Structure formats: structure tokens, C-alpha cells
Amino acid sequence: EAQVTQNPRYLITVTGKKLTVTCSQNMNHEYMSWYRQDPGLGLRQIYYSMNVEVTDKGDVPEGYKVSRKEKRNFPLILESPSPNQTSLYFCASKERGTQETQYFGPGTRLLVL
Amino acid sequence: AQTVTQSQPEMSVQEAETVTLSCTYDTSESNYYLFWYKQPPSRQMILVIRQEAYKQQNATENRFSVNFQKAAKSFSLKISDSQLGDTAMYFCAFTTGGTSYGKLTFGQGTILTVHP
């Protein structure tokens, strides 16, 4: 089954404790992206990757890091989480081409205390 | 800047009736694609319908159809014969090429409640 998976699905942590949210897709997609969803703001792009070892900032990259060492994986790293990073996070992937539809993972709900 | 505006934070409709969700957008790009996503209580993002900006014909998917007005930069979603399972948050979004390649720009969302 073609899918995007994320782990963990739910996470409660404390300020400053490094964490990683994993994202994996089995569709051989080149493009992958992370979004965060906040009430009243919709989804906003954090980082994206056009291919292996090619990553770039989205609209809200502060406080986040990413890496793309393999085509299928695109982890999101919060090295020192803060309460304003409490949010719902989505990973997405798609084929090359502007017309291609993005496929979303199930989401990761993060609470930073 | 590219923006999407959904001016209706919440909408409600009776089962079997028709409802229209509004969306306006702003972009200087000529080649772009528009989407409506549904987010049920499970939080999964589900693609409902898409529209290519170069196509004049409005997209239709079963009970879902769009009214795409390119000059007005308007992209509304019509849901016919509403069902209880249509209860969800609905997001309007678009994507372009160029320097914003691949990025989906989303609206704020509209919570739709279908009443029995």
C-alpha cells in the first residue's frame, strides 16, 4: 500500500529535550516536505527537500532541522523544543512535477511543556 | 506574497442539502493548481478535488464540485447531498512552480458540520 508514515503519532516532551519525528514514504517520491498546523493559520511549510541531500527552508523554519540521507526518509529534528512548537505536524511527499498531488502522513501531535 | 483566504470559519448544513465553501487566493504566477483537502476528526489530510488553473472547465468528483473563477481568483467548493461523513475541516490550497515549487499554500480552514 502506497503511504507516508510518521512516528511517533503523539508526543509529550519538555522544553529543551531534543526530539526527532520520523517520516518515511514507499512511493519513491523525490519531493518531501514538513508542515505544521495551528488553529486559525492552516498548514504552513517548515522545510522541504527536492531530492537526496537537497533541502531548503519553507515559511517557518526557525527551531527545526531536517536531513535527507535516503530518498524514502525525511526526519524532522527539534534540537531544543519550546512551547511555541506545540503543534500538529504533517509530512508529505510527491512526484517531480508541479501538477503532482501531495500525499500526507497521518500527522504527529506534539506538546512541549 | 501568495495567500489563501477562507472567510467562513464555520458552516453547518442539514443532511442531504447542498453547501458551498468559499476560497479566494492571490498569486502572480500563471501556472498553478488548486486543491480542496478534507480533514476529519482523525486529522488525516484527504484530497477531495483538484483544479488546474489552465483548464476553464470546473472539476467534479461525485458529490463535490468547484466553481473556479480565475479572473476573480476564487475557488469555491460545492458539496451536494451532504452526508454525516462530510463533517470535517476543509482546507483550500494551491501550489505553483518557480521559486515556490512544491509548496502548498493553505487557507485557514472551514469547519463544516452536517446535521441529521
Partner-chain contact A42 B108, CB within 8 Å: yes
**Which residue in chain B is spatially nearest to A93 when comparing CA positions?**
B102
Do B102 and A34 touch, CB atoms closer than 8 A?
A: no
10 Å Cβ neighbour count for B25?
Answer: 20
- Chain A CB contacts of B36 under 8 Å are none
Mean pLDDT, range B53-60, rounded to an integer? 92
CB B109 within 8 A of CB B91: yes
- Does residue B99 surpass a pLDDT of 70? no
A112, three cell numbers: 512541549
Report helix, strand or coil for B81: coil
Q: Measure in Å the smallest separation between the Cα of A6 and chain B Cα atoms.
A: 12
Please determine, for residue B100, whether its predicted confidence score (pLDDT) is greater than 70.
Answer: no
- Predicted local confidence at residue B112, as pLDDT: 98
Interface probe, candidates A57, A102, A110, chain B, greatest B C-beta count within 10 A? A102
Q: Does the structure show a pLDDT above 90 at B96?
A: no
Among A47, A50, A98, the strongest candidate for a mutation testing the B interface, having the largest count of B CBs within 10 A, is A98
Asked if residue A90 lies in contact with residue A34, where contact means CB atoms within 8 angstroms, the answer is: yes
Q: Percentage of chain B with pLDDT > 70? A: 97
Give the burial class of B75: count Cβ atoms within 10 A of its Cβ; 0-12 exposed, 13-18 middle, 19 or more buried.
buried
Q: CA nearest A50: which of A36, A37, A63, A66? A: A66
User: Rounded to whole angstroms, what are the CA distances from B3 to A89, B17, B22, B46?
Assistant: 20, 30, 14, 21
Task: List the single residue in B35, B91, B101 with the smallest CB-CB distance to A42.
Answer: B91
- Identify residue B8 by its one-letter amino acid code: Q
C-alpha cell read off for B17: 442539502
For residue A2, what pLDDT is reported?
85
All three cell numbers of B25: 487566493
Residues of chain A with pLDDT under 50: none
Identify which of A48, A88, A104 has the shortest CB distance to residue B103.
A48
